[in-house]
Amino acid sequence: MDREVYRLLSSYFGRRSPWEGLAKNRKYILREFRRPFSNLVITLLSQNTSDANAIRAYENLKRLGLTTVDSILRADLKTLEKAIAVAGLQRRKANSLKQLAKLLEERFDGDASRLCGLSREELKRLPGIGEKTADVFLSYACGKDEAIVDRNIRRVLIRLGLGRENSSYGELKKAIEELAPEGKRKRMHELLLMLGREICRARSPSCMQCPIRNLCAHARTFKC
């Protein structure tokens, strides 16, 4: 299977970005995503919700001028919670934003770009940063080529027979790495993400439209 998945998905999606349709201005959200602190905020907000909800919550913060380390530190928790409520778990996420901003101010002079000098394991020890958040940050804010796993990609990999329901994040990350050509781990993630959102949906997957259906264990076994 290896490189064939990448080749077929690249041919199908071309140069499309997974961020199209999630915000009115795709270039705007990509620009924000490449800014280290904004990247951390958006990714933290995306935990246990959709990317679309996370972006809506971020745009609420943006309208209130609450997307910098200093502004998060000065904001009261209730204001933060109300602004990000659309992303769910607002109390926990507001507290995580506060803790992260405080740590950045105390240890990194408020400069999130300095986190790019940390290893993946060091990043994971920071408040609110788990495996996915660390990978997203390293890949988009720091220019590293990291494979990233989310719930859409987990579903695709399981249906392809490359993972199980109880597979760990690390096991699925390795599966993406094995599918990706050299230097294309981030793009492999984006292609699988678009496939999961648009075709290999949790309910009513469109198997007949899928460019990799001939490689898929699920498509061969079940009627889609």
Residue 205 above 70 pLDDT? yes
Is the domain of 63 the same as that of 131? yes
Is the domain of 127 the same as that of 161? no
Is the domain of 91 the same as that of 160? no
pLDDT confidence tier of residue 18, bands split at 50, 70 and 90: confident
Give the pair of three-digit tokens for residue 22.
């999630």
DSSP three-state, residue 166: coil
Residue 181's domain comprises 2-15+146-221
Give the count of beta carbons closer than 10 Å to the beta carbon of residue 205: 22
| Maximal CA-CA distance, the chain | 56
pLDDT of residue 24: 58
Is the domain of 50 the same as that of 115? yes
Q: Is 201 left (phi over 0), alpha (psi -120 to 50) or beta?
A: beta
Instruction: Look at residue 64 and tell me if it is in a domain.
Output: yes
| CB-based contact 33:19 (threshold 8 Å) | yes
Is the domain of 124 the same as that of 172? no
Count of the separate structural domains present in the chain: 2
94-116 pLDDT per residue, tens: 999 999 999 999 999 999 999 99
Whole-prediction pTM: 0.89
Instruction: Look at residue 21 and tell me if it is in a domain.
Output: no
Q: Is 78 left (phi over 0), alpha (psi -120 to 50) or beta?
A: alpha
| Alpha helices for 119-166 (secondary structure H) | 120-124, 131-136, 151-159
Is the domain of 175 the same as that of 117? no
Residue 25 above 60 pLDDT? no
Instruction: Look at residue 46 and tell me if it is in a domain.
Output: yes
Is the domain of 93 the same as that of 111? yes
Residue 135 identity: D
Whichever domain contains 8, its CATH number is 1.10.1670.10
175-191 pLDDT per residue, tens: 999 999 999 999 999 99
Instruction: Look at residue 170 and tell me if it is in a domain.
Output: yes
Is the domain of 152 the same as that of 206? yes
Is the domain of 162 the same as that of 193? yes
**Where is the domain boundary, 105, 125, 141?**
141
Instruction: Look at residue 22 and tell me if it is in a domain.
Output: no
Is the domain of 92 the same as that of 171? no
Is the domain of 57 the same as that of 119? yes
